[in-house]
């Protein structure tokens, strides 16, 4: 008789995560009646404007299970029917603030909406992740961890760089870096994704002030890096070769403390140098977590 470890190994070998996409269009407004007009404007900016604004949402539902005799985790027709019944038929062309009672308690921000969608679907599907795109440059991930969520913003900058170590000859640098070592450098349109983690505020629905987060990234990264020659214009790269990996590490180090001051924590920086090349770095040790498990990133 096989031992339990062998049985567990076989079971996990047949496990698979499947993903189902769904779409809906809806509007919402960030507004708290207990605050004055001026207070709402200060807290939410343009999102507080009456009567609200809309988005074309893209929802990804990730589900984990074992393959059945038909080679499926779940019948996707059944999955589609559940998502439509419990979520999209109710949210499509709706005013989110009024559609579900949960949004009388906390506003329908991207991260809070992802959390509530999880709660609506979890009794019916073996969910392991909800990912909700409010736009191509803003999305949230929720993994079922109480009020904990992840929020990602995407931005971009254009910059030039040269890959070369000053201590090496031109020939040696060309041997290592190829064409990237040519003296005048070359440029990229970089795409930057910054993911932060934190607790969703039960009233505002926010894990961080989105406008403040966007401003931090603008001030610390986009403004100094955009239309620069990284080797000469960014002091850090006077001594460090500005590979995509090193740029991502430097951006992480620039953002970690300012984001912590916003009440969230930096989780991941992803830098896309081209459609073929990208680098990801994590903040593996959030403040307050000291055990070994805290050093293992959750891959979103």
Q: pLDDT for 276-286, tens place per residue?
A: 999 999 996 54
Contact 24, 57 (CB under 8 A): yes
**Among the four given CATH numbers 3.30.1360.40, 3.30.479.10, 3.10.20.30, 1.10.460.10, the one describing domain 1-144:** 3.30.479.10
Please tell me the distance from the alpha carbon of residue 79 to that of residue 61, in angstroms, as a whole number: 9
pLDDT mean over 213-239: 97
Question: Does residue 102 surpass a pLDDT of 90?
Answer: yes
The 10s digit of each residue's pLDDT in 137-186 is: 999 999 999 999 999 999 999 999 999 999 999 999 999 999 999 999 99
Q: How far is CA 197 from CA 116, 200, 209, 289, in A?
A: 17, 9, 12, 13
Tokens in use for 230?
């990284």
What is the C-alpha separation between 131 and 118, in angstroms, rounded?
10
Task: Specify the CATH class of 145-300 in words.
Answer: alpha beta
Same fold, 1-144 and 145-300: yes
95-107 b/e (C-beta count within 10 Å ≥ 16 → b): bbbeebeebeebb
Direct distance between the N- and C-terminal alpha carbons of the chain, in angstroms, rounded to an integer = 38
The whole-number average pLDDT for the span 64-69 is 96
pLDDT of residue 61: 98
Whether the per-residue pLDDT at 9 is higher than 80: the answer is no
By annotation, the residues acting in catalysis are 180, 227, 273
Q: Is the peptide bond before 220 cis (omega within 30 degrees of 0)?
A: no
Q: Report the Cα 63 to chain-centroid distance in Å.
A: 19
The secondary structure element, H or E, covering residue 173 is helix 170-177
| Block residue for tokens 């709660």 | 119
Measured from the Cβ of residue 234, the count of other Cβ atoms closer than 10 Å reads 19
pLDDT surpassing 90 at residue 98: yes
Where are the chain's structural domains?
1-144, 145-300
Token representation of residue 95? 């005013």
* CA–centroid distance for 23 within its chain: 19
Q: What is the pTM of this model?
A: 0.91
Please state, rounded to an integer, the average pLDDT across all residues of the chain. 93
* Residue 247 token pair: 């740029």
């Amino acid at each position: 008789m096989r031992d339990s470890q062998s049985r567990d190994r076989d079971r996990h070998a047949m496990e698979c995560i499947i993903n189902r996409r769904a779409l809906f269009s809806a509007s919402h407004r960030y507004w708290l009646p207990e605050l004055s007009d001026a207070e709402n404007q200060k807290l939410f900016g343009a999102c507080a404007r009456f009567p609200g604004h809309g988005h074309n949402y893209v929802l990804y539902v990730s589900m984990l299970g074992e393959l059945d005799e038909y080679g499926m985790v779940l019948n996707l027709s059944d999955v589609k029917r559940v998502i439509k019944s419990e979520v999209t038929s109710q949210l499509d062309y709706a005013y989110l603030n009024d559609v579900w009672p949960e949004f009388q308690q906390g506003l329908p921000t991207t991260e809070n909406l992802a959390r509530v969608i999880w709660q609506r679907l979890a009794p019916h599907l073996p969910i392991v992740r909800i990912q909700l795109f409010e736009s191509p440059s803003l999305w949230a991930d929720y993994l079922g961890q109480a009020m904990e969520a992840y929020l990602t913003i995407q931005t971009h900058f254009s910059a030039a760089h040269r890959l070369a170590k000053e201590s090496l000859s031109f020939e040696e640098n060309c041997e290592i870096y190829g064409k990237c070592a040519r003296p005048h450098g070359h440029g990229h349109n970089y795409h930057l994704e910054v993911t932060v983690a934190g607790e969703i505020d039960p009233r505002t629905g926010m894990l961080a002030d989105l406008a403040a987060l966007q401003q931090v990234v603008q001030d610390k990264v986009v403004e100094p890096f955009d239309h620069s020659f990284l080797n000469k214009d960014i002091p850090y790269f006077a001594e460090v070769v500005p590979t995509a990996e090193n740029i991502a590490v430097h951006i992480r180090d620039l953002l970690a403390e300012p984001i912590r001051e916003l009440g969230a924590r930096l989780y991941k920086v992803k830098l896309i140098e081209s459609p073929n090349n990208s680098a990801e770095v994590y903040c593996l040790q959030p403040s307050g977590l000291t055990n070994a498990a805290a050093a293992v990133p959750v891959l979103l």
